[in-house]
Amino acid sequence: MTMQSAAPRAKRILMIGAPGAGKGTQAQLIAQQFGVTHIASGDLLRKNIAEGTTIGRTVEQLVNKGELVPDSIIMDMLRKPVLAANAAGGYVLDGFPRTVEQAEAAYRTAGSLGVGVQIAIHLDVPEDELTRRMLARARGADDTVDVIKHRIKVYEEKTRPLLEYYQQRELLIQVNGARPVGEVTWSIVVQLQRAFKQRPAAARTAAAPDRAVA
Ligand code: AMP
């Protein structure tokens, strides 16, 4: 079986949420629930930084300042894991796309590869709660108050427009992410199950690349 022949059945989910919204936690739980791979662009970047790879050295300053890293680096870094996950049944993408430009680039690649994202989930959390959570989990250089504020600003300016992008193109699931973890997961699972049942056609991307959405 080739990668592309597995694609039509693959479940492709992406999480959109501000820093501190709980994307990583929920993405991991959702991936487990649906038996697909969790792919987190931020985790992959931090791994590269920790290992001192060429990518890691290039992006370290940007990540520490809460700036986005260049699209080309992200696309190159994600290409292999996304294809492998697609062949293995699907993925939950966490942290990508981060901008409309990235979504459009992914859409073009998806069209030619038969790989796309079919359902976007928005984890909605008010800003004061985001700041509180981020300070509570302070991870290191990228978690000072100024950097946290900057990361939220970058989200508002660059990432929030993605919500409209997905609402217009495919399915966007809205979730109140300010509730306890288990309740949020439950709400996502219920809505995803409903969506997969109602929209089996959304899974046909390899055969119909025009429907491949990322
Ligand atoms: P995260 O763990 O998703 O919050 O990502 C941590 C940092 O990695 C972000 O603040 C950015 O500097 C960088 N990053 C992660 N994903 C992307 C992406 N898709 N595009 C650009 N930069 C990213």
CA distance 52 to 41: 16
Tell me the CA–centroid distance for residue 47 and ligand 1, in Å.
12
**Distance separating the N- and C-terminal Cα atoms of the chain:** 23
Tell me the CA–centroid distance for residue 14 and ligand 1, in Å.
14
Tell me the CA–centroid distance for residue 69 and ligand 1, in Å.
7
**pLDDT recorded at residue 118:** 76
Ligand 1 binding pocket, CB closer than 6 Å: 19, 41-42, 45, 62-63, 66-69, 74, 95-96, 98, 102, 151
**Contacts of residue 159, Cβ cutoff 8 Å, sequence gap at least 6:** 16, 18, 98, 99
Tell me the CA–centroid distance for residue 161 and ligand 1, in Å.
16
CA distance 93 to 40: 6
Query: Is the pLDDT confidence value at 1 over 50?
Result: no
pLDDT digit string (tens) for 4-33? Answer: 444 557 899 999 999 999 999 999 999 999
pLDDT digit string (tens) for 79-109? Answer: 999 989 989 999 999 999 999 999 998 888 7
Higher-confidence residue of 143 and 147: namely 147
CA distance 82 to 116: 10
Q: Retrieve residue 209's tokens.
A: 């690349």
Mean pLDDT for all residues in the chain: 85
pLDDT digit string (tens) for 158-213? Answer: 999 999 999 988 789 999 999 999 999 999 999 999 988 876 544 443 333 333 33
Q: What is the pTM of this model?
A: 0.86
Q: Kindly indicate the confidence band of residue 214, based on its pLDDT and cuts at 50, 70 and 90.
A: very low
What is the number of the ligand 1 atom nearest to the C-alpha of 62? 12
% of the chain with per-residue pLDDT over 70: 83
Tell me the CA–centroid distance for residue 162 and ligand 1, in Å.
15
Measured by CA distance, the residue closest to atom 2 of ligand 1 is 42
pLDDT digit string (tens) for 58-79? Answer: 999 999 999 999 999 999 999 9
Query: Is the pLDDT confidence value at 43 over 60?
Result: yes
Kindly report the length of the chain.
214
Query: Is the pLDDT confidence value at 148 over 50?
Result: yes
**pLDDT recorded at residue 147:** 86
CA distance 5 to 3: 6
Q: Retrieve residue 187's tokens.
A: 């709400």
What is the number of the ligand 1 atom nearest to the C-alpha of 154? 10
**pLDDT recorded at residue 204:** 40
pLDDT digit string (tens) for 107-136? Answer: 887 766 666 557 999 999 998 899 888 888
